[in-house]
């Protein structure tokens, strides 16, 4: 007897799979009819997507810009200030009004305060009940939807490997490949990193290197604010592990680009092109990526609005990339955690560092990005997300993660923080959730990082419960969470 269940199962440990033990027994003989377990999962996913298709926000997004505020910005000192709290909780910064009545930011975000009628503020992000106080562990979950138990003796996660769960961007370009001859997934201007662990949560993992992001990491250290001016068009190189070895004399091919299209076509006539090689060649020939990377094409006044610094110019480049057809841009905050100056990891010297370094760059860059996308009509189909791996402790000068903190510093705090999300069907001028009086925990409508990822997948018309097979050929959901429907208009 063959039964295709229409409703999620009630008696499995993992209910999201939607199959009961009785259904599994019934499906056991279905191989005789040509229906494998994988086929069953695909049919179930199709049925689930059919149900979701009519829900708000489904399939509105064509691209996403993830502004990843690595380091964990303090929600209390940016966009969730608190009044009438003890001195060791209260922000040193004054509160200011915004475009939304009754919604206040701190004085650090005067420009964002004037465009918050264009985005949704989630003030109830939370890892409750299990907090992840380690940067790398929290980054990995935010980017993949999964946690890992593989840690080194120092408490850090192990380096990236082929068994990792894929970054959400890799999943998106696998399930929604771009239609233009353009880089599908770009990560800039630096990798995800904590201490010596570089790139964890930022690769395609078990999907394979063909779905890895194209990484644009300009030369220069993190304090070099002009590094984006030194992007060279010939930085766009074909990755040999992705696009095959059959493209010989790649340097000569790049030189032929400038001498004309016929020469390029003649140079590759003798090759039998596979899928990845063909895609790469189309990308190089089209010139779309080379032009998108050329920030000099933008008016000086607009570049000034974004901010003449690494974050601001990366935001501008992200807009140019999605405009040219890139599906996913992950913009990593250009200063690693566990460092000083404009890092968001404010264990010490929070007041001076936030006021004069990190906050002004965020305020100008994110404001200009949202406004610019909206002015060009791109915000309707471009999802913009700005979020860190966690927030900062409500009480100053206390240790929550084993780190030392000055009286003017806040430690890691995964139990309550804030995210910004805009575009592609997301409500405008909306505040979702509410933190308690000290910003310690959600008072209303908590949103787990997995739910944020599920919301992103939903916006692209992808069921978060879609099955993907890991390196052991085991079925896994994209993320074990559901989208937050209240975020969509």
3-state SS class at 28 = helix
Average pLDDT over residues 247-252: 46
Annotate 340-394 with DSSP letters as a single string. -TT-S--SS-HHHHIIIIIHHHHHHHHHHHHHHHHHTT-TTTEEEEEE-S-EE-S
Burial readout 451-470 (b: 16 or more C-beta within 10 A, e: otherwise): bbbbbbbbbbbbbbbbbbeb
For 20-30, the pLDDT digits (tens) are: 444 434 444 44
Which residue did the predictor score with more confidence, 116 or 148? 116
Q: 472 CB contacts (<8 Å, ≥6 apart)? A: none
Average pLDDT over residues 131-156: 81
Cα angle, residue 260 at apex, residues 252 and 254 outer, rounded to 5°:
25
- Per-residue confidence (pLDDT) for residue 432, from 0 to 100: 98
Q: How much helix, strand and coil, in percent to the nearest 5, is found in the chain?
A: 35, 15, 50
Distance CA 392, CA 133 (A): 10
Instruction: Match 């929290």 to its residue by tokens.
Output: 138
* Residue 8 clears pLDDT 50, i.e. is over it: no
For the ranges 31-40, 152-161, 474-483, the one whose mean pLDDT is highest: 474-483
Element (H, E) at 454: helix 449-459
For 387-443, the pLDDT digits (tens) are: 999 999 999 999 999 899 999 999 999 999 999 999 999 999 999 999 999 999 999
Average pLDDT over residues 35-50: 53
Supply the Cα-derived Rg of the chain in whole angstroms: 23
pTM of the entire predicted model:
0.83
- Per-residue confidence (pLDDT) for residue 263, from 0 to 100: 52
Instruction: Match 């908590």 to its residue by tokens.
Output: 446
Q: What is the mean pLDDT of the chain?
A: 84
β-bridge pairing 442-444 and 467-469: unpaired
3-state SS class at 77 = helix
Distance CA 418, CA 387 (A): 7
Structure tokens at 305: 């609005």
Element (H, E) at 214: strand 214-215
**Cβ count within 10 A of residue 246:** 12
Lowest mean pLDDT among 85-99, 148-162, 260-274: 260-274
β-bridge pairing 214-215 and 328-332: unpaired
Confidence of residue 63 (pLDDT cuts 50, 70, 90): very high
Distance CA 120, CA 354 (A): 23
Structure tokens at 482: 């559901």
* Residue 51 clears pLDDT 90, i.e. is over it: no
Distance CA 48, CA 32 (A): 25
**57 in Cβ contact with 482 (< 8 Å):** no
* Residue 145 clears pLDDT 80, i.e. is over it: yes
Question: What whole-number percentage of the chain has pLDDT above 90?
Answer: 67
- Per-residue confidence (pLDDT) for residue 336, from 0 to 100: 87
Q: 298 CB contacts (<8 Å, ≥6 apart)? A: 316, 320
Compute CA 114 distance to the chain's CA centroid, rounded to the nearest angstrom: 24
**211 in Cβ contact with 242 (< 8 Å):** no
- Per-residue confidence (pLDDT) for residue 278, from 0 to 100: 58
Which residue did the predictor score with more confidence, 87 or 149? 87
Q: 289 CB contacts (<8 Å, ≥6 apart)? A: 182, 183, 236, 283, 324
Q: 365 CB contacts (<8 Å, ≥6 apart)? A: 67, 306, 307, 309, 311, 312, 314, 315
Length of the chain (residues): 489
Average pLDDT over residues 200-229: 93
β-bridge pairing 197-198 and 193-194: antiparallel
């Amino acid at each position: 007897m063959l039964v295709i269940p229409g409703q999620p199962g009630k008696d499995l440990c993992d209910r999201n799979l939607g199959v009961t033990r009785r259904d599994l027994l019934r499906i056991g003989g279905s191989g005789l009819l040509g229906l494998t377990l994988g086929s069953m999962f695909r049919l179930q996913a199709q049925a689930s997507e059919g149900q979701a298709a009519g829900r708000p926000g489904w399939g509105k997004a064509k691209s996403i810009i993830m502004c990843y505020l690595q380091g964990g910005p303090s929600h209390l000192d940016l966009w969730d200030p608190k009044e009438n709290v003890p001195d060791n909780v209260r922000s040193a910064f004054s509160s200011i009004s915004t475009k939304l009545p009754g919604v206040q930011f701190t004085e650090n975000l005067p420009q964002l305060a004037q465009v918050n009628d264009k985005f949704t503020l989630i003030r109830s992000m939370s890892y409750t009940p299990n907090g992840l106080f380690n940067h790398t562990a929290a980054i990995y979950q935010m980017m993949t939807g999964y946690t890992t138990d593989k840690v080194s003796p120092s408490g850090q996660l192990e380096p990236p490997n082929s068994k990792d769960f894929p970054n959400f961007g890799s999943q998106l370009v696998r399930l929604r490949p771009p239609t233009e001859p353009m880089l599908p997934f770009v990560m800039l201007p630096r990798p995800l990193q904590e201490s010596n662990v570089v790139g964890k949560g930022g690769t395609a993992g078990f999907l394979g290197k063909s779905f890895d992001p194209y990484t644009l990491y300009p030369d220069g250290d993190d304090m070099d604010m002009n590094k984006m001016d030194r992007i060279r068009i010939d930085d766009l190189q074909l990755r040999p592990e992705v696009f095959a070895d059959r493209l010989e004399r790649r340097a000569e091919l790049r030189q032929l680009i400038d001498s004309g299209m016929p020469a390029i076509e003649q140079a590759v006539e003798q090759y039998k092109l596979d899928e990845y090689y063909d895609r790469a060649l189309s990308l190089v020939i089209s010139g779309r990526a080379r032009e998108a990377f050329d920030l000099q094409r933008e008016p000086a006044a607009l570049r000034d609005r974004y901010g003449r610094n690494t974050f601001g110019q990366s935001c501008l480049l992200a807009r140019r990339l999605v405009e040219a057809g890139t599906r996913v841009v992950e913009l990593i905050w250009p200063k690693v955690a566990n460092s000083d100056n404009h890092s968001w990891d404010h264990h010490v010297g929070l007041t001076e560092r936030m006021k004069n370094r990190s906050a002004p760059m965020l305020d100008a860059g994110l404001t200009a990005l949202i406004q610019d996308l909206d002015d060009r009509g791109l915000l309707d189909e471009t999802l913009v997300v700005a979020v860190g791996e966690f927030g900062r402790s409500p009480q100053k000068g206390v240790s929550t993660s084993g780190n030392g903190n000055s009286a003017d510093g806040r430690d890691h705090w995964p139990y309550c923080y804030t995210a910004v999300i805009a575009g592609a069907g997301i409500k405008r001028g909306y505040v979702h959730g509410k933190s308690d009086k000290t910003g310690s925990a959600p008072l209303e409508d908590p949103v787990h990082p997995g739910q944020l990822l599920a919301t992103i997948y939903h916006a692209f018309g992808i069921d978060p419960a879609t099955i993907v097979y890991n390196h052991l050929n085991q079925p896994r959901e994209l993320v074990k969470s559901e989208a937050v429907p209240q975020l969509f208009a």
